């Protein structure tokens, strides 16, 4: 079993739609959680950190459920520019060792 | 600030050849990482370093060596390249510690390596 698992998709949604991604992790000792965005043939870039209480950044909302060991990302009012691969990232205590999920591909269509 | 830079951007090797990938960061970060990314596999950690002069193995270290002689540089070496090492290689760095939400990794643009 992979340490971090994501649905690879692709998710095909129209502009304006709301879409949600989930990610599960196996190491209960994991301490830090992130969502990264990766555009085609580019490097990953941080989208948002995931706080225990959940957090929101504009159209993006991240949630953490430690009991069930999953992280979610909700995108509201999807834009064409949201088309990308979204990577779930989990870090151990100390944060120096991170595990990346394989990513979920999103296509937003006009 | 240039952030994280990688050299070269592209390279084609023949089986058995050797090469070194260079990663440089100008953010004074303590931690540096080398990943490889293959289709459907996501990023896999090859080696990492928590400070100058220290290195450690990640998830897929076989066939690679690393050195961190200077804080700003992290080198990844392939002693005898194999077709299985065809991949995109990303370097990343981050600060040590840091408040919640600031402990993010910053990535270089990647090196696309093909081994024939």
| Mean pLDDT value of segment B35-53 | 90
What is the pLDDT at residue B97? 65
- CA A31, A33, A36: angle at the middle one, nearest 5? 155
Quickly state the pLDDT bin for B6 (edges 50, 70, 90).
Answer: very high
In Å, what is the CA distance from B29 to each residue of A30, A42, B62, B64, B103? 22, 22, 26, 22, 11
What is the pLDDT at residue A68? 93
**Residue numbers in B near A34 (CB within 8 A):** 104
What is the pLDDT at residue A27? 86
A49 and B105 within 8 Å at the Cβ level: the answer is no
What is the pLDDT at residue A5? 93
Strands B19-25 and B73-78: antiparallel
Query: Could you give the maximum distance between any two Cα atoms of chain A, in Å?
Result: 43
What is the pLDDT at residue A84? 97
What is the pLDDT at residue A93? 65
Q: Which residues of B touch A (CB under 8 A)?
A: 31, 33, 35, 40-45, 48, 50, 58-59, 90, 94, 96-98, 100-101, 103-105, 107-110
Output the DSSP codes for B9-66: SEEEE-TT--EEEEEEESS--SEEEEEEEETTTEEEEEEEEEETTEEEE-SS-TTEEE
Is A42 in the B-facing interface, judged by CB distances under 8 Å?
Answer: yes
| Mean pLDDT value of segment B46-72 | 94
pLDDT of residue B35 exceeding 70: yes
Write phi, then psi, for B83 (nearest 5 degrees): -55, -30
pLDDT digit string (tens) for B69-101? 999 999 999 999 999 999 999 999 988 765 555
Half-sphere exposure in the Cβ direction for A28 (13 Å, CA): 2
Of all residues in chain A, the one with the smallest CA distance to B40 is A102
In Å, what is the CA distance from A81 to each residue of A2, A21, A37, A61, B35? 30, 17, 11, 17, 26
Alpha-carbon distance of B14 to B16, in angstroms, equals 6
Please report, rounded to a whole number, the percentage of residues in chain B having pLDDT higher than 90. Answer: 82
What is the pLDDT at residue B88? 97
**Residue numbers in B near A42 (CB within 8 A):** 109-110
What is the pLDDT at residue A96? 66
Tens of each residue's pLDDT in chain A, 110 residues: 788 999 999 999 999 999 999 999 998 888 889 999 999 989 999 999 888 888 999 999 999 999 999 999 999 999 999 999 999 999 876 666 788 999 999 999 99
Beta bridge partners, A5, equal: A24
Average pLDDT of chain B to the nearest whole number: 92
A10 upstream amide cis, omega within 30 of 0: yes
Residue pair B56/B81 in contact by the 8 Å Cβ criterion: no
């Amino acid at each position: 079993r992979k340490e971090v698992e994501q649905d690879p998709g692709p998710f095909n949604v129209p502009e304006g739609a709301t879409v949600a991604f989930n990610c599960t992790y196996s190491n209960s000792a994991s301490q830090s959680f992130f969502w990264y965005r990766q555009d085609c043939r580019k490097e990953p870039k941080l989208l948002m950190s995931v706080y225990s209480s959940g957090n929101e950044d504009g159209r993006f909302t991240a949630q953490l459920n430690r009991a069930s060991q999953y992280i979610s990302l909700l995108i509201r009012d999807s834009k064409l520019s949201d088309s990308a691969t979204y990577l779930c990232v989990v870090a151990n205590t100390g944060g120096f060792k991170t595990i990346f999920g394989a990513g979920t591909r999103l296509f937003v269509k006009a | 600030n240039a952030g994280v830079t990688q050299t070269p951007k592209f390279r084609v090797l023949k089986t058995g050849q050797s090469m070194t990938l260079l990663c440089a960061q100008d953010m004074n970060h303590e931690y540096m990482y080398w990943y490889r990314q293959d289709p459907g596999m996501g990023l896999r950690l090859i080696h990492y370093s928590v400070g100058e002069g220290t290195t450690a193995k990640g998830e897929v270290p076989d066939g690679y060596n690393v050195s961190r002689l200077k804080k700003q540089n992290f080198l990844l070496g392939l002693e005898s390249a194999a077709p299985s090492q065809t991949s995109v290689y990303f370097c990343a760095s981050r600060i040590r510690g840091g408040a919640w939400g600031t402990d993010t990794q910053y990535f270089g643009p990647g090196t696309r390596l093909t081994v024939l």
